Structure 1
Amino acid sequence: MARGELVDALVGSPTRVVAIVAGPGYGKSALLGQWADRLAGAAVWHTCTDADNDPAALLAAIGRAAGAGPGIVTVAGLIRALDPAPAGTLLVDGVQVMTSAASLNVLTDVIDRLPDTWRVGITSRARPRLPIARLRAAGELLELGPGELSFAHDETAQVLARSGITLSPTATDQLLERTQGWPVAVSLAGMALRADETRTFTGDDVFMREYLRTEVLAGLRSRDTALLVRCAILDELSGPLCDAVLRTRSSGAALEHLAAHGVIEQAGRDGDRFRCHPLLRDLLTAELHRKEPALVPELHRRAARWYGDAGVPDQAIEHAHLAGDTAELTRLVLDWSQHTWANGGIDSVHRWMSWLEESDGGSAFPAIAAHAALIFALVGEPARAERWSAIAKGAPVSGSLSDGSTVEATLAYLDAIEARQGTAQMRLDARVAWEGLAPASPLRATMRHTEALADLLDGDLDHADGLFVEAQEAAEAAGIGPLVGMVMCERASIAVERGDWSAAEDAVRRATSIVTDGDYGSYWSSALVFAWAARLAVHLGLRSEAVEHTRRALALRPLLTYALPVVSTQALLATAQASLGLGDHHAAAATARRAEEIVHRRPGLGDLPDRVAALVAAVQETADQGRPDTLTPAEIRLLPLLATHLTFPLIAERLGVSRNTVKTQAISTYRKLGVTSRNEAVARWEVLDGS
């Protein structure tokens, strides 16, 4: 909030008490002074000193500030001295220096007994031992803290400008993120950048380092400083976590003490989580690496263990990575990657696998190598997927994993999804994996789905549908939303083959809801869902809906590669068919080429090559005959009805329009499709719609 707005808030607030509490360098005294200037002489200002720990000295000092002269020795006497004034504001700056309970009780008594026409404003670096909770509950308190006192973008730019520094908006935002808008840090950054605008301002910068040491860390107990330095590896601080990292039992009380003195901040409303300012953490981290570099990996290892036991995979895995503990990193990734992926954390899993790749982790662990191959396949990086696949298959086939799955089953799982040797082997691999994977393994659902795919590609729709039902049930039981949505679309494709567009519509709409509600929109598996949603919308004549779903399917096209050939090709086919239906020949052609490349690299996938060849031919035919890119929504809605036995009068009744309107729309449609009869229009539309 801008300083002018803050002063306006102080002047205009109806509350009786204002507490401005933040660490050093937030401009608390300056803000109090600006408030005093607006009060036009109706303010009583007192800056606290160590002498105020004597209650008598405190009362006398406030009395002198109020112009009451000497002799004020009681609260009652001070109140009598202030009472004649019609209204006023008592401003007490720097309450943190008062540690005497007696003096704090006196100040509390003053606040409680001041006339109703008086207000009180206090500043403190730490939470003052005053009746803050009571005043808050009574609605008599306005609180300003670091969040309100921090600079925003414009104020940051203005402070830098006063130092002769002009940064781009992006660079200003980056500095704002590093400083968190801490006013003194922004000012010191301006001084540092004046010497060298190319430098990155951190908490270990000479100007910032000196300020932090003298204004924030000075006077701390040695054990508290040691806690801060060694726990600088942590994003967030809590008593149990710091105890685990430091192997102590008193961290909770120490953190409370540091927070009470404004050194660290609360990280949430629960009151037991804290954080260091990023610049302070920079300094502490640099101190740790200078003084105890050999201890750093062990501290990370302890943090990884604590977070792992607490069920916080992101932090556990990051600390295992920073510890350089490849074995622990591998174990944690294996335990958490499938669950995290299924719950929308594909980016996290991708990052973990990249860390494993950097550390050469997983080379001796076929299960993690198989997971890595899958993840890189899912994010559209087939070369990296193949590298990990080769690592997995180079490991010994015997043995079992910690969850009871056999290594043989894990490798069969990988062979099944890669489908390198055609549908028969794909089916066999899926069955071997299903039998050898642990009953609780989330990979089993994928194997039912993969076996069903093999049957679907070989034309056994009934058996495929039954297996898809089993795959859906297994995926639902395991909580794998992306797979559930994908399986529903496979079942929709079978329904369309049977001519049951109603069942297909129900399945596709449920699948789309799963993807949107679960935030899986960027997932590889969602390409098939969006593609089928687009096909359905084209079939129903819902052009705007079809355009949106096709756009989302096309956005996922880079993820569709030969690494996961079957569903990738299915999604490309459905996307191209929807694009043709919308008259987007360019998108259809590019999508068809990608499908053609996949089946060329992965031959033997049942009827997929024939379907791709038919699609390519349809795209070419459309190019030769001209594109129906001017079909109106009404004409698209009419086309499915032309394929029925209904006469024009019955179609008109169904659509709620006149017979002449239907006839006019039909003639227009024939012309745009380059045909001369109803039967030809239906045949042409079936090519475009993929029915």
Structure 2
Amino acid sequence: MTTPSRANPDDISDFLERMNTRRTRYSRGYLKRDRLSFVGHPTAKCLRYKAPPGFGKSVQVAQCAQAALERNEDCIYLDFSSFRPKDLSEADLIANSIVAALSSEGFSETPTTSSVNILALRLLTDHERPVTICLDGVTDAATTQRFLRAIALETPETVRLALSEGLPDAMASLSALSDVVTIGPDDLGFTLDETGSVLSLDADQARRIFDLTGGWPLLCALAGKSNTPGVGIAHLPEVQAYFENDVLAQVPQPLRDCLMKASWLEEINEDVCNYVFKTDAAGLKRGSRATAGSTKQNPKRIV
């Protein structure tokens, strides 16, 4: 599909205004965790947040944007889950937003896609103030990665990126660069102290929720706000609805079928692996330390 290289300036301006409101809402009232930001990674060119839904990636990207503004930097913040100008790809929207935010002059003629990208790179390179580009929910792996790699490799250290992935490994090639820091679920998960701070519970309750959720931020919040504390976290209607409507809905159907079959298993051995993965050779896949048929393992449950 051919897309226009540059949206109507009014459309871009409206979109950026909505992004400002969204950034403020995401930043307000959430726990500030410097270890996950440029404060904790001062030499990073790019922070890449990679984790399943519910780990607070959107909050961290918005907080990076808010912190940049508080440092008196220029900032471009985009959340791709929102409604965006018609027919603009992610890469086009990023380039056009950079031009709209940093340029005081317009094009004298209708630009091509490449000329907008080149102008955006030039503006980033020549800009006197530091610039932080914060992108939430990146999904367009091909064109967006190419443009973001150009930003990472061709702009000065005063230009930094903070981004989260809307699809797994959408930014995989970007992570290979030496000054890109990937922040995964082990980092994004709450510590015990953070769990207690967020939920304002006594130490025993906070410990119980932390142990049952593994520090998964959204599950901690759902469990802490539940009016049925005696019910197991996995059986809370809010948690069940979250997995059905937010997590499973994003999983392709073949993998969803496999996960549902695997969830019925009490023990994992060669026979059940054959059943779930529709094979008759699970024993050949076993590790060198033990045979699948002689060693039974309890599956690690999320909740």
Q: Is this contact kept in 2: 1:16–1:120, CA < 8 A?
A: yes
The residue that corresponds to 2:157 in the other structure is: 116
Task: Evaluate the alpha carbon distance shift between residue 4 and residue 12 of structure 1 in structure 2; reply closer, same or farther with a 3 A threshold.
Answer: same
* Corresponding position of 2:4: none
- Is residue 216 of structure 2 the alignment partner of residue 182 of structure 1? yes
1:131 to 173, 177, 180: 173
- 1:15 maps to 44
What's 2:180 paired with? 141
Which residue in 2 is equivalent to 1:246? 276
Distance apart, 1:183 and its partner CA: 0.7
**Are positions 1:38 and 2:72 aligned together?**
no
Match of residue 199 from structure 1: 231
Are 1:91 and 2:91 an aligned pair? Answer: no
CA distance in 1, matches of 2:38, 2:268: 33
**Any residues of structure 2 matched to 1:462-501 within 5 Å, and which?**
none
**Structure 2 counterpart of 1:218, one-letter code:** A
**224, 229, 248: which is aligned to 2:255?**
224
CA distance in 2: counterparts of 1:188 and 1:9, whole angstroms: 28
Structure 2 residue ranges without an equivalent (≥5): 1-30
2:125 and 2:285 map into 1 onto residues whose CA distance is 59
- Higher fraction of helix: 1
Residue 156 of structure 1 deviates from its aligned partner by 1.3
Whether 2:138 is the aligned partner of 1:104: answer no
One-letter amino acid matched to 1:77: L
TM-score w.r.t. length of structure 2: 0.69
Query: Residue 18 of structure 1: CA displacement?
Result: 1.3
Give how far 1:146 is off. 0.8
Alignment-mate amino acid for residue 77 of structure 2? W
Q: How does 1:277-676 map to 2 (within 5 A)?
A: 311-312=291-292, 315-316=295-296
Q: Is the 8 A contact 2:124 2:159 kept in 1?
A: no
Preserved CA contact (<8 Å) 2:48 2:175: no
Q: Is the 8 A contact 1:52 1:98 kept in 2?
A: no
Give the CA deviation at 1:116.
3.1
Residue matched to 1:496: none
SS in structure 1 of the partner of residue 132 of structure 2:
strand
TM-score for the superposition, normalised by structure 1: 0.33
Distance change (3 Å), C-alpha of 1:91 and 1:197? same
1:316 is paired with a residue whose SS is coil
After superposition, give the CA deviation of every residue in 1:69-111 in whole Å (9 maximum; x if it has no partner).
Answer: 665743221112223323222222211x324x23332232232
Indicate how the Cα distance of structure 1 residues 303 and 185 shifts in structure 2: closer, same or farther if over 3 A, else same.
farther
Deviation, 1:170, is: 3.6
1:388 counterpart residue number: none
* Cα drift, residue 67 of structure 1: 5.1
Measured after TM superposition, the shift of residue 228 of structure 1 is 0.4
- Cα distance change on mapping 1:27 and 1:12 into 2, 3 Å: same
Per-residue CA deviations over 1:662-688 (Å, capped at 9, x if unaligned) read: xxxxxxxxxxxxxxxxxxxxxxxxxxx
Residue range with higher mean Cα deviation, 306-315 or 216-225? 306-315
RMSD of Structure 2 on Structure 1 (CA): 3.7
Aligned to 2:244, the other structure's residue is in SS state: helix
Which residue in 1 is equivalent to 2:89?
A: 53
Higher alpha-carbon Rg: 1
Residue 83 of structure 1 aligns to a residue whose secondary structure is helix
Question: Residues of 2 paired with 1:38 and 1:105: CA distance?
Answer: 27
- Alignment length, in residue pairs? 253
The whole-number CA distance in structure 2 between the counterparts of 1:237 and 1:34 is 41
Higher strand share: 2
Secondary structure in 1 aligned to 2:48? strand
Q: 1:111 to 1:237 in 2, by over 3 A?
A: farther
Deviation at 1:216, TM superposition (A): 0.8
| 1:223 shift after superposition | 1.6
Report if aligned partners of 1:45, 1:65 keep a CA contact under 8 Å in 2: no
Alignment deviations for residues 243-264 of structure 1 (CA, whole Å, 9 cap, x no partner): 6122525xxxxxxxxxxxxxxx
Partner of 1:339: none
CA contact (8 A) 1:24 1:215 kept: yes
Task: Report SS of the residue matched to 1:210.
Answer: helix
Q: What is the CA-CA distance between 1:233 and the residue it aligns to?
A: 4.5
What amino acid is aligned across from residue 164 of structure 2 in structure 1? T
Q: 1:186 to 1:241 in 2, by over 3 A?
A: farther
Secondary structure of 1:93's aligned partner: strand
Structure 1 position 54, deviation (Å): 5.8
Mark the CA change 1:58 to 1:308 in structure 2 (over 3 Å): closer, same or farther: closer
Superposition misfits of 4+ residues, deviation over 6 angstroms: 235-238, 302-309
Whether the 8 Å contact between 1:46 and 1:62 is mirrored in structure 2 is no
Aligned residue for 1:177, secondary structure, equals helix
Q: Is the 8 A contact 1:7 1:31 kept in 2?
A: yes
SS in 2 for 1:218: helix
Residue equivalent to 2:20: none
Q: Which residues of structure 1 form unaligned runs of 5+?
A: 250-301, 320-691
CA–CA distance in structure 2, aligned partners of residues 14 and 235 of structure 1: 46
Measure, in 2, the Cα distance between the counterparts of 1:190 and 1:129.
33
The one-character-per-residue Cα deviations of 1:114-143 (angstroms, maximum 9, x if unpaired) are 2232121111142223423531xx3x1222
Q: What is the deviation of 1:171?
A: 3.8
The partner residue of 2:98 within 58, 62, 82 is: 62
**Preserved CA contact (<8 Å) 1:26 1:149:** yes
Bigger RCO (CA 8 Å, 6+ sep): 2
Q: Per-residue CA shift, 1:638-662, capped at 9, x if unaligned?
A: xxxxxxxxxxxxxxxxxxxxxxxxx
3-state SS in 2 of match to 1:143: strand
> Residues 150 and 182 of structure 1 are in contact (CA less than 8 Å); yes or no, is this contact kept in structure 2?
yes
Q: 1:12 to 1:236 in 2, by over 3 A?
A: farther
The 8 Å contact of residues 16 and 119 in structure 1, kept in 2 or not, is answered as yes
Corresponding letter in the other structure for 2:118: A
